[in-house]
Structure 1
Amino acid sequence: MLAHQRAPLFTAYDERHDTMTDRTHHRATDPGGEALRELAHRITGSLFTPDDEHFAAEAAGFNLLSTHRPALIVAAASATDVQAAVAFAAEHGLAVGVMATGHQPFPAEDGFLLVTTRAMRSVRIDVDRSVARVAAGATWAEVVKPAQAVGLAPINGSSPTVGVVGFTLGGGHSPFLGRSLGWAADHVVSIEVVTADGELRRVTAASDPDLFWALRGGRSNFGVVTELEIELFPLTSFYGGGIYFAAEDVEAVLRTFPEVVRDAPDDFTCSVALMNVPPIPEVPELFRGRFLAHLRVVGLGSDEETEKLIAPFRAIGPGLLDSVGRHPYGAFAAVHADPAHAAPYEERSALLSDLPSEAVDRLVAGARREAGGPITVLELRQLGGALARTPEGAAPIAAREAGFSVWGATIGPPEVIEAGYAALATVLAELAPWSTGLLFANFTDRKAGAASVFSREELERLRWLKRQHDPGNLFRVHNHNIAPR
């Protein structure tokens, strides 16, 4: 794995990326081949340099638009490997980035040390405590399956391929358990993390409440998380699924949505995705090349209660495809039917405090305008319920103040993505009167910074804590970077 070094292998951090005048770092130094051989000897995982055949594949994530160019990759197989990588980076003045699945877009970076955790996949279920111990590279599919084997469920997202750590420490909105139980970050029991000094720490609300708070929102700004303990809950099935409506019913679906969710109980969640389905062979013929509305429904109450809630949608008419029914929780991925294969895409989002009739009018107008356009998907998601509550020791999550989220993405070649990104900007600008002014950390574009995802008070506290735990801003890439105060 370790190729011959070609100078200059390591480059100093480019300060044009830095928008904060008090951001600090050490200038990178070329450690030489001997130092690299020593690092390779210290780890049980793999070490890649840019000359290695598999370097590009290891650097690539699910979002193929994020083309990072690290100087060195440590494919960690254990927490000890992560410690070695962080110590090496600190010694040689390299920034550290971390990636598990790489779903979220972040700006392309050069000349840093990338720690990939996809080889760290262990999941252990503690039935007596109703918790799961999840290693840094595990995905939701790898947690849900063993949890369901003992009748338990995590606060997971819609996609089985998304990494648990990034999802949870970015807040973690579950379209299944979110409205009834709250944000995934509020249900973390403990965090195992390698901090900037190379130490491996187990952090809890009791052992270090400040760092525990900061990690549940600040993610890799404060270290490389190697393992989480998360709460699990007794649940083995749900009543829900998806209904696909044809283009002529899109307006009716959008106008029905606020009526259905306005007084809905916390055990019911609903979202609508407007989709420009590409005309490609991989797509079922029923949907290929069409403009659709995909209604996503999850009810944790009885079948009858959920059917009563969605009756106004059924009154619109039969959908093209209807999968709503009683399903085992292990079938969660079928509700949103998120893409399963890596692709280049860009996304944008907004948090809305309310969804009055005027906002719906603007969404309808936008849907008419963008039908057949470059936006691949535009989702309106219901929040509220337990997601709006602030429990004791709550994680820093800006989306608590929002009643709805609007998220869109464009998948395709560069010219399509560019057009879709601009079209999304237009749609979101029309909803600006109801925007909270902040973003949900898991749903941001690559240009968003820390000031976009934290309140002013939260960011100030995070910057003070960053000064204590990472004063040199070692962990400054592949995240919404928080500069030390």
Structure 2
Amino acid sequence: MTLTLDAPYVDSEISFDALRAELTGSLHTPDEPEYDALVSPWNLAVPMRPAAVVAVGTAEDVVAAVRFAGAHGFTAGVQATGHGAERSLAGHLLVLTRGLDEVTVHPEGWARVGAGVKWSQLVPVAARYGLAGVNGSTTDVGIVGYTTGGGVGPMARTHGINADRVRAFEVVTGDGVFRRVTPTEYPDLYFALRGGKGAAGIVTAIEFDLIRMPEFYGGAVYFDGADAAAVIDRWRGWADALPEQGTTSFVVFQLPPMPDVPPPLAGRMTLGVRFLWTGEPEEGARLLDELRAVAPVILDDAELRPYTEIDHVHADPVDPMPVVDPAILLNGFPAEAAQRLLAVAGHGSGSPQVLVEVRHLGGAYAREGQHPSAFSHRAARFSVLAVGMAVDEATAAGALAHADQVFAALADWDTGGVWPNFGIPHDAVSARRCYDEPTLARLREVVDTYDPQGVLQAGYYTRAAG
């Protein structure tokens, strides 16, 4: 098929036949029935409309796609699960890595997975050996995308970020070269791939250390929204006093009556306190009892669990849906910040958000890893995430406008930064929020070295922030 692309720096009729013939996987253009399902991300509010999508089956397919893009003046984007999708990052050729599905767990404590693998595929395999990964708040996300954005999960205070646990990447850089990257092989790429999202290359596989954790104490305890002020006031001091074996967050929920929503939480505002304790279960239960005593508990889902039940901690939704989900980072969360937050997003505020989450950081999260990385936010002490529905333009605009009010209320403690996984760099402004200037400068050097033609769409925004 021949297609004329409408793009600012592409003006030619291009046939994809040569690339299609070279692939082990498949290539689909917008006129083909498979296209829509392949390009659709988890966030249904983000339309991805590349000129073609390449569903790769091997790392060699990625090489072929990137070289084809470079030869024809195209840009290339990448997607696996589509969490954190951003329309402008699709590029002309969207490389879909779901087919790279290798999962190998080594009983001595490390794993190798392909770029299309979700945590949900790794967790049960690792659990056979009493092992676990430093995964995110839901196992439904891809391991590679999560890790290249840093990888902050419900054990962050105990075990840090997953980017610090990476042994090696296999990656195709913008010059179309397949490389194996370790702390000693291409150390500049090793720096950039851990926190730099897709700016430095399209990862095809990753190898990283696991932790030994067959079980944990944790889950979430839920209160009525009317009791949020009292519970959060106690939570602030309680969280700050926690040993590093504990990681916690709270969330103000407004969940609709749906089959997957527990009846005590449906159709009302509630407050959930999430907690994961890696120490002795009895001590974890005793600590959480201090919060259970503050107000009546309407649902208690915290207990000793096998690690395969890790999703009980955050209880994030799995099914694709249309949302807007902006975030910020804070350097503190004093009583005044809690009061301001609840005034705009708490009981009686009229908030349209499905959830507003505050995560407590510090501990191992705050310490630099053994090797420098592009993750720039170790000093942040809290993260704040707002998630609203975006079923149409009006609801999306309303949710975003309200999120701006929430963040304005917390402006006195806003660091100005955001995790790359919560605010993927897609323009110069977002890139500057994701990275401090020294990190941006190092990322630009890597992009200029390994992608001199500017083939990778994600690298374009790193350059634009210069």
Q: Same fold (TM over 0.5)?
A: yes
> Offset of 1:138 from its aligned partner?
0.3
SS at structure 2 position matched to 1:244: strand
Matches of 1:51 and 1:184, distance apart in 2: 39
Corresponding residue for residue 317 of structure 1: 295
Are the equivalent residues in 1 in contact too, given 2:169–2:203 (CA < 8 A)?
A: yes
CA shift in 2, pair 1:471/1:396, >3 Å: same
| Distance in 1 (alpha carbons) for counterparts of 2:117 and 2:349 | 37
- Residue 11 of structure 1 is aligned with which of 6, 23, 33? 6
Secondary structure, aligned partner of 1:298: strand
Q: TM-score, normalised by structure 1?
A: 0.91
User: What TM-score, normalized to structure 2?
Assistant: 0.95
In the alignment, is the contact (CA less than 8 A) between 1:476 and 1:482 conserved in 2?
no
How big is the shift at 1:105? 3.6
Unaligned runs of 5+ in 1: 15-25
- 1:158 is matched with 137
Write the letter of the residue equivalent to 1:83: V
Q: Distance in 1 between matches of 2:48 and 2:368?
A: 36
Residue in 2 aligned with 1:347? 325
**1:116 to partner: Cα distance:** 0.3
| Structure-2 residue corresponding to 1:180 | 158
Separation in structure 2 between the aligned mates of residue 70 and residue 455 of structure 1, nearest angstrom = 30
Deviation, 1:85, is: 0.5
2:99 counterpart (119, 129, 146): 119
3-state SS, counterpart of residue 44 of structure 1:
coil
Query: Residue 41 and residue 370 in structure 1: after superposition, are their counterparts in 2 closer, same or farther (change >3 A)?
Result: farther
Residue 109 of structure 1 deviates from its aligned partner by 5.9
Mapped to 1, the partners of 2:236 and 2:153 lie a distance apart of 20
Q: Equivalent residue for 1:364? A: 342
Indicate whether 1:234 and 2:212 are aligned: yes
- SS of the equivalent of 2:185 reads coil
1:404 aligns with 2:382: yes
State the SS of the aligned residue for 1:219.
Answer: coil
SS of the residue corresponding to residue 44 of structure 2 reads coil
State the Cα deviation string for residues 313-367 of structure 1 (Å, max 9, x = none): 1112331110111000010011111111000101111111111222122123223
Amino acid at match of 1:11: D
Instruction: Give the structure 1 partner of residue 119 of structure 2.
Output: 140
Deviations 1:289-320 (A, max 9, x none): 10010111100011222123223311123311
Mapped pair 1:421 → 2:400: yes
Q: Secondary structure at the match of 1:221?
A: coil
Deviation of 1:449 after TM superposition, in Å, equals 2.1
Distance 1:440 1:456 in 2: 15
Tell me how large the CA RMSD over aligned residues is. Answer: 1.9
* Residues 54-73 of structure 1: CA deviation (Å, up to 9, x unaligned): 11111101011110110011
CA distance 1:281–1:264, shift in 2 (3 Å): closer
The alpha-carbon distance between structure 1 residues 482 and 293, as it changes in their structure 2 partners (threshold 3 A), is farther
Residue 450 of structure 1 is matched in structure 2 by: 431
Q: Deviations over 1:66-117 (max 9, x none)?
A: 1011001100011011111111111111100000001104134676100001
Instruction: Show structure 2 runs of 5+ residues with no match.
Output: none
What is the Cα deviation at residue 197 of structure 1?
2.1
Cα distance in 2, alignment partners of residues 402 and 329 from structure 1: 27
Q: For 1:229 and 1:438, locate their aligned partners in 2 and report how far apart those are by CA, in whole Å.
A: 28
Within a 5 Å distance, the mapping from 1:253-268 to structure 2 comes to 253-268=231-246
Cα distance, 1:50 vs. partner? 1.1
Report the 3-state secondary structure (helix = DSSP H, G, I; strand = E; otherwise coil) of the residue aligned with 2:47.
coil
Per-residue CA deviation, residues 125-162 of structure 1 (Å, 9 max, x unaligned), is: 1223x211010010001111111111111110111210
What is the identity, as a one-letter code, of the residue corresponding to 2:154? P
- Match for residue 22 of structure 1? none
Supply the AA of the counterpart residue of 2:127. Q
| One-letter amino acid matched to 1:426 | Q
Report the counterpart of residue 275 of structure 1 in structure 2.
253
Paired residue for 1:394, among 346, 363, 372?
Answer: 372
Partner of 1:18: none
Provide the C-alpha distance between the structure 1 equivalents of 2:182 and 2:11, rounded to a whole number of angstroms. 33
Does residue 88 (structure 1) correspond to residue 68 (structure 2)? The answer is yes
Find the partner of 1:71 among 51, 70, 88: 51
**Matching residue's letter, 1:71:** A
Q: What CA distance in whole angstroms lies between the structure 1 residues aligned with 2:464 and 2:185?
A: 24
Identical counterparts, % of pairs: 37
1:331 maps onto 2:309 in alignment: yes
Whole-Å separation in 1 of the counterparts to 2:219 and 2:146: 22
Deviation at 1:370, TM superposition (A): 6.4
2:40 counterpart of 1:40? no
Code of the residue aligned with 1:262 in structure 2: it is D
Distance 1:320 1:482 in 2: 50
Cα distance change on mapping 1:110 and 1:102 into 2, 3 Å: closer
Residues 32-66 of structure 1: per-residue CA shift (max 9 Å, x gap) = 3xxx2221121111110111011111110101111
Letter in 1 for 2:433: S
Corresponding residue of 1:103? 83
Kept in 2, the 8 Å contact 1:65–1:105? The answer is no
* TM alignment of 1:220-231, pairs within 5 A: 220-231=198-209
